[in-house]
């Protein structure tokens, strides 16, 4: 018998990504954590820490498995914030215009025995040079508001990508190769579950 799965995220994107590999969470719980970077924290360490903190922040019942993820956008050693306002989004898109950046997508699975395992997908994304008009037109759509880096690759921003090396699903919000491997180790992903 497969253990029950808890998705520590209210993100519809993460739910949809899991469905692509035939996994449907038994419960969905939104974790509440402080997502502020620690002083001097590097982007990779930050993404992994947040994924684990999110997984540990939800109430895990006996025998349940928890999965959580975090996607962080970084330019060099700089962690870019989510686009909470249009002004922040405009600034982020100007920074990303015409250059490469890293989409660091961490996933944490806590198995039924309480052991946490982590994996990270580091995807390099390069945008074309964006015109001010393209940035303003995109901001009006609202699709990148609240998102890491100020864009949603599964939407209109995908047409800006001139180069991508790594996990497309990781940029969307959950690296499926890594998630599937961790879920298999935890006994969730198998022949009768997808």
Q: Where are the beta strands (DSSP E) in 81-184?
A: 100-110, 116-127, 161-165
Active site residues: 70
Tokens of 31: 């974790």
Radius of gyration of the chain (CA): 17
CB 127 within 8 A of CB 87: no
Q: How far apart are CA 188 and CA 36, in angstroms?
A: 31
Which pairing describes strands 65-75 and 100-110: parallel, antiparallel, or unpaired?
antiparallel
Sort strands 27-28 and 5-7 into parallel, antiparallel or unpaired. parallel
For 65, the token pair is 């498995």
Residue 75: which of 98, 109, 49 has the closest Cα? 98
């Amino acid at each position: 018998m497969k253990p029950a799965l808890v998705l520590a995220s209210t993100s519809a994107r993460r739910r949809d990504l899991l469905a692509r590999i035939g996994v449907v969470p038994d419960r969905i719980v939104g974790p509440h954590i402080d997502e502020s970077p620690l002083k001097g924290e590097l982007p990779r360490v930050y993404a992994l820490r947040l994924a684990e903190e999110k997984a540990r922040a939800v109430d895990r019942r006996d025998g349940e498995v928890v999965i959580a993820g975090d996607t962080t956008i970084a330019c060099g050693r700089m962690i870019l914030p989510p686009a909470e306002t249009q002004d922040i989004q405009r600034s982020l898109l100007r920074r990303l215009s015409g250059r490469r950046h890293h989409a660091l997508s961490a996933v944490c699975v806590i198995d039924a025995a309480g052991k946490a395992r982590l994996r990270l997908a580091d995807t390099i994304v390069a945008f074309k040079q964006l015109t001010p008009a393209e940035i303003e037109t995109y901001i009006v759509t609202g699709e990148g508001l609240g998102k890491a880096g100020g864009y949603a690759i599964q939407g209109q921003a995908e047409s800006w990508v001139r180069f991508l090396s790594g996990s497309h699903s990781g940029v969307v919000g959950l690296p499926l190769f890594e998630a599937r491997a961790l879920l298999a180790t935890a006994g969730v992903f198998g022949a009768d579950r997808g």
